[in-house]
Amino acid sequence: MKLGFIYSEWVVKIPVILIIGVATTLDAPGEMLHFKALQCLRLCKFILQSPVERMNAVVETVLLKNCSGFSISHKVAVFLKNYFDNRDGTLSSLIRALKIACAQHFSTEPLSCMLKVFDEQETFHGEQFDFQHQVISACEWTIPSTRGKMDEEGIQKLVNALTELKKMQGRWSVAVLCLYEAAKCRQVNLLDLLCEALDPDLLASGPLDCHATSTKGRYISQAIQNVRELSEAMFVNLIKSWEKHTIAIPEIHGKVKDLQYILKFENYKRRKVESPIMSKKRSQNQANVIGGSNAFNETAVNFLECLINDFMQPLECVASHEIVCFKNVEKLKAALAGDPRRQIQVDLLGSRRILQCSCCPRDGGILCPSMQDTSIMYILSQEHGDLINLYDWYQSFKSILLPPSEGKQKTKQTKKKKNANEDEELSEVTIQARFCRAVRELQITGLLRMQRKRRPDHLQRVAFGV
């Protein structure tokens, strides 16, 4: 009670919010506090969203709204759903999986970043086309579904395919959101509906059964059946939500506007024809009308069926879908399983495969100065046992950065000119600095450990084998 009086004196300058209990009712403070303390409090009731509702919001924002060049395949969506369910509906687990999927996709598919540019403008001329030509020519081999020669005509076709892919992704997302709005009343989760919409076999399996319970397409069928049984009052809210989702797609937004006009015309026509007695009878039998079906309901069903047939082709069935669609489930599972030390070892040993640069030789057994310093150091450490002699390790590292011929040439120059000796010392300092930085990085990653007391000129290897 005293705490309430103290807070009440400072509430003008400092807003104070007290969160009491997890499932506390508004009557509970009156049973515990004095009435004078209650006069200083303003009681409000709030309810947090359930994990499923927050999951739907995350999926809608990341995978459907404002498409940023990222989507997932049917297998990845099913894995994310099972991963969310197996973690007792923990939202952080779903967000972590989505972050890893995004990072893996954008790091392995360079052309995915170009979709942001396509969103701003659809045609390219001059320097923009030349830059686009270079990027596509360098990355076309990463698109298995696109085949053909990468000449001027082939690149222009790929540019047109990317533009159409961006438009198709936007229309597909709007169609899924419209179905989700129609299925909300039946407690359908967005991730379940998304898994069904991403299924490549959905449209190939024939027409959907609206009364299905275990077959493919049951969530979409539930959305269609709900529209058939929807009342007139709820149709107004549904069409408003459709209008909000489709405003960026004129071809779909126009059909929603037509539905809105038809609904208004039907209401006006019925009110004009009905007599007061008929209106009274209609109000008495309103419950029977709500559960029934009329011509407008079938018109709305036809609109949803049009969305399914025209715009809901799964992205996996489209050419160049690898640019926007992440499909590597096994790689995502390995990342979520958590074996970072092994993954670091694999990446250091196969840096050429990851960087894919032209300066390093394709042969994995040859070390060259252009390689990353930490990768060179770790590959050289494989030649040692449990302990690594720092001097031998440094000399091996130096021999990679300074080939023997180059070292002999510089040694001869040091006998003739003093300025060359200064350059040699500077190069030595640079090599030592790079060596120390690489050793430090290997220590941070947990692959090496310093010898504190005995043999300070040695390092101890922590991880062995891959």
Q: What is the pLDDT of residues 115-125, one digit of tens each?
A: 655 555 545 45
pLDDT of 21: 59
pLDDT in tens, 40-93: 777 777 666 788 888 888 888 888 876 556 889 999 999 998 888 887 667 888
pLDDT of 229: 86
pLDDT of 231: 83
More confident residue, 267 or 424: 267
Residue 103 has pLDDT above 80, yes or no: yes
Tell me what the pLDDT averaged over the chain comes to: 75
Residue 243 has pLDDT above 60, yes or no: yes
Distance between CA atoms of residues 163 and 323, nearest Å: 12
392-411: average pLDDT: 72
Mean pLDDT: which of 34-38, 94-98, 276-280, 282-286 is highest? Answer: 94-98
148-170: average pLDDT: 72
Residue 418 has pLDDT above 60, yes or no: no
222-245: average pLDDT: 87
pLDDT in tens, 313-360: 888 888 778 888 888 899 898 888 767 777 788 888 888 777 777 777
pLDDT in tens, 292-317: 347 788 888 889 988 888 888 888 88
More confident residue, 129 or 16: 16
pLDDT of 214: 45
Residue 290 has pLDDT above 70, yes or no: no
129-155: average pLDDT: 58
Cα torsion angle, 94, 95, 98, 100, sign? negative
Distance between CA atoms of residues 377 and 252, nearest Å: 58
The CA-based dihedral angle spanning residues 73, 331, 347, 111, taken in that order and rounded to the nearest 10 degrees: 0
Residue 19 has pLDDT above 90, yes or no: no
Residue 414 has pLDDT above 50, yes or no: no
pLDDT of 291: 41
Confidence of residue 287 (pLDDT cuts 50, 70, 90): very low
Judge contact between 380 and 393, C-beta under 8 A. Answer: yes
Distance between CA atoms of residues 50 and 390, nearest Å: 56
Judge contact between 336 and 99, C-beta under 8 A. Answer: no
Q: Tell me the β-bridge partners of 72.
A: 326
- SS3 of the chain: CHHHHHHHHHCCCCCCCCCCCCCCCCCHHHHHCCHHHHHCCCCCCCCCCCHHHHHHHHHHHHHHCCCCCCEECHHHHHHHHHHHHHCCCCHHHHHHHHHHHHHHHHHHCHHHHHHHHHHHCCCCCCHHHHHHHHHHHHHHHHCCCCCCCCCHHHHHHHHHHHHHHHHHHHHHHHHHHHHHHHHHHHCCCHHHHHHHHCCCCCHHHCCCCCCCCCCCCHHHHHHHHHHHCCCHHHHHHHHHHHHHHCCCCHHHHHHHHHHHHHHHHHHHHHHHHCCHHHHHHHHHCHHHHHCCCCHHHHHHHHHHHHHHHHHCCCHHHCCCHHHCEECCHHHHHHHHHCCHHHHHHHHHHCHHHHHCCCCCCCCCCCCCCCCCHHHHHHHHHCCCCCEEEHHHHHHHHHHHHCCHHHHHHHHHHHHHCHHHHHHHHHHHHHHHHHHHHHHHHHHHCCCEEECCCCCCCEEEECCCCC
- Locate 200 and state its tokens: 């490549």
Of the ranges 105-109, 117-121, 220-224, 429-433, which one carries the lowest mean pLDDT score?
117-121
pLDDT in tens, 361-381: 766 567 888 888 888 888 888
Q: String of b and e for 428-440 (b: at least 16 CB within 10 Å)?
A: eeebeebbeebbe
More confident residue, 31 or 409: 31
